[in-house]
């Protein structure tokens, strides 16, 4: 882990128009990481724009943007990105089904997910298996002794806490070190406010559907919502299913006109969520993540490859992949 890595990134970006691209439908960790990196680069004279593809579809994520003054733009709002512009992929990598290929030149990547497909196209790559991408960005401030605003510190702390489920999921020593580092800069009163009123009334229908459709095979809980759900809500329901005493691995998906969105959670050391969804959907969809949590997608065009009884086929594919691991 080269101690001058953050400075290498700054030097790479100087003199270029820079975009910081999160994964599609960004969650709190992705947004916090992009926000923290934006302020870090700005201190060293590099201006940047945060962008994403999809929508920001959760109340707590929108609340976070308002609370910390984060400016982030949908790609639909950006009409002049060109091939000469530089892109940093944050909390994401290419090629990845959850990261849209934009016109700019992806020169850098900062991420905490395992590498499933090698690429040599990045000029700067910082990929570490830690609980949250925000941990890596906090480390940039720490190792370079760069000043940090209270809003950035609080957002980074929130990103770490959310992605590690309050430091109990996939947490590493570096995550703990960076929470300790951020403690003296963050506004903990503002952070605690982020945990209030996080479920919207319309979310209850998704919970009801997930409960109605759940099936458990061995230690694996499967359920689905036969309607459109925000990506982050699918993840929250996946956490909910995992909390059942008979479930060690949760496979949750939402079906809509554009395809099927998946969220995977695992509490077992021998079942890696990221490898599970990558293997189960190989050839018909895409997916990835880390050991404890992952996401994936099958397009509407590819659902036909699952057959008409696709709920049963999906269970079969995931159980086959799980049996290879355990």
Question: H-type helices in 172-220, by residue range?
Answer: 173-183, 188-193, 203-213
Instruction: Give pLDDT tens digits for 52-95.
Output: 998 887 777 888 999 999 999 999 999 999 999 999 999 998 86
Which pLDDT band, with edges at 50, 70 and 90, does 98 fall under? Answer: confident
Query: What gap in Å lies between CA 246 and CA 267, rounded to an integer?
Result: 12
CA–CA distances in Å: residue 63 to residues 28, 36, 128, 191, 195: 10, 17, 28, 11, 10
Residue 54: per-residue pLDDT: 86
**From the CA atom positions of the chain, what is the Rg in Å?**
19
Direct distance between the N- and C-terminal alpha carbons of the chain, in angstroms, rounded to an integer: 32
Average pLDDT, the chain: 92
Query: What gap in Å lies between CA 52 and CA 48, rounded to an integer?
Result: 13
% of the chain surpassing 70 pLDDT: 96
Instruction: Give pLDDT tens digits for 115-135.
Output: 766 767 899 999 999 999 999
Task: Catalogue the long-range contacts made by 164-169 (C-beta closer than 8 Å, 24 or more residues apart).
Answer: 164/131, 164/132, 165/239, 167/131, 169/131, 169/292, 169/293
> 145 with 124: CB under 8 angstroms?
no
CA–CA distances in Å: residue 247 to residues 213, 234, 251: 15, 17, 10
% of the chain surpassing 90 pLDDT: 77
Query: What gap in Å lies between CA 236 and CA 204, rounded to an integer?
Result: 12
Q: Do domains 5-193 and 203-325 have the same CATH topology?
A: no
pLDDT of 97 over the 90 cut = no
**Higher pLDDT pick, 25 / 209:** 209
Sign of CA dihedral 105, 231, 290, 73: positive
Instruction: Give pLDDT tens digits for 268-320.
Output: 999 999 999 999 999 999 888 888 889 999 999 999 999 989 999 999 999 99
CA–CA distances in Å: residue 280 to residues 222, 286, 314: 14, 9, 8
Residue 252 corresponds to which tokens in the numbers above? 């949750």
Query: What gap in Å lies between CA 295 and CA 273, rounded to an integer?
Result: 8
Q: Please name the helix (run of DSSP H) or strand (run of DSSP E) that holds residue 53, with its range, or none.
A: none
Query: What gap in Å lies between CA 175 and CA 29, rounded to an integer?
Result: 13
In the CATH scheme, what is the homologous superfamily, with its name and number, of domain 5-193? inorganic pyrophosphatase (n-terminal core) (3.90.1640.10)
Could you tell me how far CA 41 lies from the centroid of its own chain?
21
Which pLDDT band, with edges at 50, 70 and 90, does 197 fall under? Answer: low
Which of 287-302 are b and which e, b meaning 16 or more Cβ less than 10 Å from the residue's Cβ? bbbbbbbbbbbbeeeb
pLDDT of 223 over the 60 cut = yes
Query: What gap in Å lies between CA 266 and CA 43, rounded to an integer?
Result: 39
Mean pLDDT of 205-216: 96
Instruction: Kindly report which listed range (9-23, 40-54, 194-208, 222-236) carries the lowest average pLDDT score.
Output: 194-208
Which pLDDT band, with edges at 50, 70 and 90, does 3 fall under? Answer: very low
**Higher pLDDT pick, 200 / 49:** 49
Residue 183 corresponds to which tokens in the numbers above? 């403690």
Q: Which CATH class is domain 203-325?
A: alpha beta
Torsion of CA 23, 207, 275, 86, to 10 degrees: 0
Instruction: Give pLDDT tens digits for 144-174.
Output: 999 999 999 999 999 999 999 899 888 999 9
Domain boundaries, the chain: 5-193, 203-325
> 222 with 280: CB under 8 angstroms?
no
Residue 290: per-residue pLDDT: 85
Question: H-type helices in the chain, by residue range?
Answer: 5-13, 28-43, 59-68, 133-144, 150-163, 173-183, 188-193, 203-213, 231-242, 273-280, 310-325
Query: What gap in Å lies between CA 297 and CA 112, rounded to an integer?
Result: 20
Instruction: Give pLDDT tens digits for 254-266.
Output: 998 889 999 999 9
């Amino acid at each position: 882990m080269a101690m001058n890595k953050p400075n290498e990134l700054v030097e790479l970006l100087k003199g270029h128009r820079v975009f910081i691209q999160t994964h599609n439908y960004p969650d709190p960790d992705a947004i916090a990481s992009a926000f923290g990196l934006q302020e870090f680069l700005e201190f060293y004279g590099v201006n940047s724009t945060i962008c994403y593809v999809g929508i920001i579809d959760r109340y707590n994520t929108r609340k976070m943007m308002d609370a910390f003054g984060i400016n982030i733009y949908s790609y639909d709002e950006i009409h002049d990105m060109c091939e000469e512009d530089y892109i940093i992929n944050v909390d994401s990598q290419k090629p990845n089904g959850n990261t849209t290929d934009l016109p700019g030149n992806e020169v850098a990547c900062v991420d905490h997910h395992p590498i499933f497909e090698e690429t040599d196209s990045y000029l700067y790559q910082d990929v570490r298996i830690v609980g949250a991408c925000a941990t890596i960005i906090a480390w940039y401030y720490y190792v370079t002794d760069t000043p940090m605003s209270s809003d950035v510190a609080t957002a980074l702390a929130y990103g770490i806490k959310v992605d590690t489920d309050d430091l109990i999921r996939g947490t590493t020593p570096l995550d703990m070190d960076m929470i300790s580092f951020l403690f003296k800069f963050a506004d903990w009163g503002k952070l605690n406010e982020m945990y209030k009123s996080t479920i919207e009334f319309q979310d209850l229908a998704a919970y009801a559907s997930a409960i109605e459709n759940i099936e458990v095979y061995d230690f694996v809980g499967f359920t689905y919502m036969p309607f459109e759900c925000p990506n982050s809500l699918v993840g929250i329901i996946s956490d909910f299913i995992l909390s059942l005493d008979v479930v060690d691995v949760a496979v949750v998906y939402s079906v809509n006109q554009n395809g099927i969105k998946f969220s995977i959670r695992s509490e077992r050391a021998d079942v890696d969520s990221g490898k599970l969804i990558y293997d189960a959907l190989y050839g018909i969809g895409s997916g990835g993540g880390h050991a404890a949590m992952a996401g994936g997608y099958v397009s509407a065009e590819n659902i036909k490859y699952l057959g008409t009884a696709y709920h049963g086929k999906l269970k079969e594919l995931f159980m086959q992949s799980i049996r290879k691991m355990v």
